[in-house]
Amino acid sequence: MDLNLTSKTAVVTGASRGIGLATVRSLIAEGVRVMGAARTVTPELKESGALAVAVDLSTADGVTALMNSAAAELGGIDLLVNNVGGGDDVEPVGFLDTDDTQWTRIFDLNLLSAVRASRAALPGLIERRGSIVNVSSINSRLPAAGPVAYSAAKAALAALGKSLAEEFGPRGVRVNTVSPGVVRTAIWEDPAGFGGKVAAGAGAEHDAFLQQIPTAFGITTGRITEPHEVAALIVFLLSGVAGNINGADYVIDGGTVKTL
C-alpha cells in the first residue's frame, strides 16, 4: 500500500526509543523528513536518519524551541505525532500518595506538551492540510489500571484529540488518537522503570512478572504489543489513505479492553 507520504515533513515527540523511535523509523521508510525530539537524544535516534533535537517537552520553552527548530530545518511540518509521555517518571502509587508536584509534572508532559505543540503547529497544518496523531493509553479507558494522575492525563489527551478534530476537521486537518496497552518498551522491560517498580511492589521477580503480563492483564492474543505495530497504526492514520478518519481513538492492546 502506497501511503503517499514521500516528501512530507513530520515532528515526533518522545522519539528517542520505544513507540516514538519506531514511528520515526517507519516515517523515514515512507520517505518523510522527520525531526525527532526527546529529553535525551539516544544513539538509536541519531542513527535513524531523523533530525534529532534534545528538549524538555514538559516545559513551554522546550516545545517552543522544538517547533522553532522544525520551522527552520524543515520549512514547516505536515505531520505531528504527540507521543511523549511520562512513563519513566510515573510511580505505582495511589491517589493519596500523589502530591500536587507529581500531578503537575504528569500533566505538563502527557497533556500540555501536546496542547503546546499542536497550538504551534496548527497554523501550518491548516495551510498544508496536515494531520496529528496523539498517543494516549488504554488507561484513559481503564482508569483503575494505573496511577490516577497518569490515567487522568491520558483521558484528557484523548478528549483533546476529539475536540481538535471537531474544530479543525472542517479546515482540512485530521486529528486522531492511538491508545496502546502494554507495549514492549523500557517502561516495562527496564527493572528500574515502571514495570520493575510494579513487580517489586508485588514481591515478584521482574522477568517472571513480564512473562505473566498477558495472563494478568487479560490480553486475548497472549502477548504484549511491539513498538513497530503501534508505529504502523500511527503512520497509517497520518497518511492520506486514512483521509476520512478523523476524531477517532484506536485501541491497540491485544484485546485487553473488553468493553465497547
Q: How many angstroms separate the CA atoms of 153 and 105, rounded?
A: 10
Q: How many angstroms separate the CA atoms of 23 and 13, rounded?
A: 10
Q: Which three cell numbers stand for residue 51?
A: 533530525
Of 5, 25, 106, 150, which one is the catalytic site residue? 150
Q: Which three cell numbers stand for residue 41?
A: 537524544
Other CB atoms within 10 A of residue 257 CB? 16
Q: How many angstroms separate the CA atoms of 25 and 224, rounded?
A: 20
Instruction: Give every CB contact of residue 58 below 8 A, 6+ residues apart in sequence.
Output: 86, 105, 108, 109, 112, 113
- The torsion angles phi and psi of 134, rounded to 5 degrees, stand at -100, 135
Q: Catalytic annotation on 250?
A: no
- The torsion angles phi and psi of 51, rounded to 5 degrees, stand at -80, 120
Q: Which three cell numbers stand for residue 217?
A: 492483564
Q: How many angstroms separate the CA atoms of 72 and 60, rounded?
A: 18
Catalytic residues: 150
